[in-house]
Structure 1
Amino acid sequence: MIAFLGMGLLGANFVRAMLSKGEQVNVWNRTESKAKALEQYGAKAFENIAEAVRDADTIHLTLKDDTTVDVVLAMASPALKPGVTIVDHTTTSVDGAIRRTAEWKERGFTYVHAPVFMGPPNALESTGFMLVSGDQQVIARMEPALAKMTGTVINFGEETGKAAGMKLIGNNFLVCFTAGVADTLSLAKALHIPASDVATLFESWNPANMMKARLQRIAGGDYSKPSWELDMARKDTGLFMDAAEKGGTKLAVIPAIAAEMDRWIAKGHGKDDWTVIGKDAVS
């Protein structure tokens, strides 16, 4: 039997998917109504967390952060069955994932950190990506069940906490990407170009195709054969900022990038490939 703690949008849809596959699932949430809402799909909701986990062989968590995970598990711990497996899908710190893995092992339980790149629709459809790392025997035992919850389980090897780190790296990219999209639309607004025209541009010209080569260029550390000189990239960045200012819009991330470009130009890298601004990240 499965217990699921944390009935936000992600957790609730995970539960609905499990129920559709014939699993018996106990659910608990601090706001009881969110757990009760799952009863219409066949879940058994509990007001008391101890009752929710008492007979569970596996406990899944989708919570807010490290502190919430620690608090909820402390509340549940007196009622845990010996040897129960705890699967935590919460985005947490690397240190927190490492600490909990060790602490729960010392207490005779298995803690698996399995963060996800999945939105609520993915959880309901069992698509998306789930990340794991650590004890490979534990992962081999758990992977068939985890694979039922997602499209792809990515195993990052024996290093405890690496899955947590990879999730943070991925989320960092998403934050930067979204901020970049916002700046792109702000510039378009300043230039009186509708967002629909921006979408048309990217339907034909897909910058995602450059991702692998750009990553390799930065990580490779050789910036001496530029495809776009830093001086020229900085010139264009100035055009972005000037146009935005004249058009009455605000760019959130481009000014910071311009400042970083200026720092590298001052160090004599103006004629290098502009990806030299990432050199400190890999050297």
Structure 2
Amino acid sequence: MRLAILGTGLMGSSASARLKELGFHIVLWNRSIEKTEVIARDLGVDIARSIVEAISSVDYALAFLADDSALLSVVSSIPRADGLIFVNFSTVTPKASIMASEFLSTRGVCYVEAPILGGPRIVREGKAIILVSGPSHCVGSIEGILKALASDIIFISEDIGKASALKLAYNNMLITSIASLAESIVLAEAYGLSLDIVKNVFSKTVFKDLVERYFDRLISEEIPTGFKLSLAAKDMEYASRAAFDKGIPLPLASAVEQLYMLASKAGLGDKDYTRIYLFMKRLGLKT
């Protein structure tokens, strides 16, 4: 099975390594060719210099792209390609996903949206959760690819946009929870409470799972980037956009979006999104 991987960021490179390991034949494309050359050399796979070249001899194009603009730019570069299945693993707005699907249908391409719950490490281990929307006959043909990356595949609907909406709803809850935990730790520290006491008390409450998974990660000085803080800001903006399109307010999402935007502008955009705690702590130290 020949696959084109479009986008070799943290998620795309992890998926590439996993799929190559399981015997899929892959070709890589990315806007930054230098970065892709390193990944391709490590994996022993081919590089395409253009999107047209990438999809010219494959059956499936798998997109791991940063945002709506990147998705629509890639999609608009695809020529007539009858029979190609385009699987979008990116986190985008429902509106952009629908636009991509509608455009690709005029090119003879079947579009499936398959946003991922889980970071690069989970994808590399094949333990992600994938939400899927798209025509059932196309979804059925990519089952092997999905099973290579995920331990749980949830079919949402044949209607494009619904899986993307659910991914944004999930990220809204996750990112807001992380910001709330960080804010609460900063408040407790401001009154001289030790991190050990704070963690001990929080872990005895309804927030036990959140604390056990994220407390130490939040307060660590340095951790590998699994989810860029700038992309967390983008996802919160997209949640607000998606809500606006349906005429509903998301006041918490808007506030958290602004918080992450400020942290990104302060130089933390390429750091892990849990660095929001360090940003908030710095703000407190300046008062």
Global fold match (TM > 0.5): yes
Residue 54 of structure 1, CA deviation: 1.1
Hey, what does 1:96 align to over in structure 2? Answer: 96
Deviations 1:118-169 (A, max 9, x none): 2111121111211112322322332332121112111112332100100110
Gapped regions of structure 1 (runs ≥ 5):
211-247, 251-283
Residue 104 of structure 1, CA deviation: 1.4
Q: Secondary structure at the match of 1:108?
A: coil
Hey, what does 1:61 align to over in structure 2? Answer: 63
Q: Secondary structure at the match of 2:57?
A: coil
Is contact 1:2-1:25 (8 Å) kept? yes
1:14 correspondence with 2:19 = no
Q: Mean Cα displacement is larger for which, 156-165 or 9-18?
A: 156-165
Q: Secondary structure at the match of 1:204?
A: coil
Is contact 1:35-1:46 (8 Å) kept? no
Q: Which amino acid aligns with 1:173?
A: M
Q: Secondary structure at the match of 2:17?
A: helix
Identify the structure with bigger relative contact order (alpha carbons < 8 Å, sequence gap 6+): 2
Partner Cα separation in structure 2 for residue 159 and residue 190 of structure 1: 48
* Alpha-carbon spacing, 1:153–1:9, altered in 2? closer, same or farther (3 Å): same
Q: Which amino acid aligns with 1:172?
A: N
Residue 61 of structure 1, CA deviation: 0.7
Q: Secondary structure at the match of 1:27?
A: strand
Hey, what does 1:73 align to over in structure 2? Answer: 75
Residue 204 of structure 1, CA deviation: 3.1
Q: Normalization by structure 1: what TM-score?
A: 0.69
Q: Secondary structure at the match of 2:19?
A: helix
Hey, what does 2:134 align to over in structure 1? Answer: 134
Gapped regions of structure 2 (runs ≥ 5):
211-282
Hey, what does 1:204 align to over in structure 2? Answer: 204
Structure 1 runs (4+) deviating above 6 angstroms are none
Is contact 2:81-2:108 (8 Å) kept? no
Partner Cα separation in structure 2 for residue 14 and residue 249 of structure 1: 39
Q: Normalization by structure 2: what TM-score?
A: 0.68
Q: Mean Cα displacement is larger for which, 62-71 or 199-208?
A: 199-208
Q: Secondary structure at the match of 1:92?
A: coil
Identity of aligned residues (%): 27
Q: Which amino acid aligns with 1:199?
A: K
Q: Which amino acid aligns with 2:56?
A: R
Q: Secondary structure at the match of 1:50?
A: helix
Partner Cα separation in structure 1 for residue 150 and residue 50 of structure 2: 29
Is contact 1:16-1:41 (8 Å) kept? yes
The 5 A counterparts of 1:227-246 are none
Q: Mean Cα displacement is larger for which, 11-20 or 178-187?
A: 178-187
Q: Which amino acid aligns with 1:188?
A: A
Partner Cα separation in structure 1 for residue 143 and residue 17 of structure 2: 20
Structure with max Cα Rg: 1
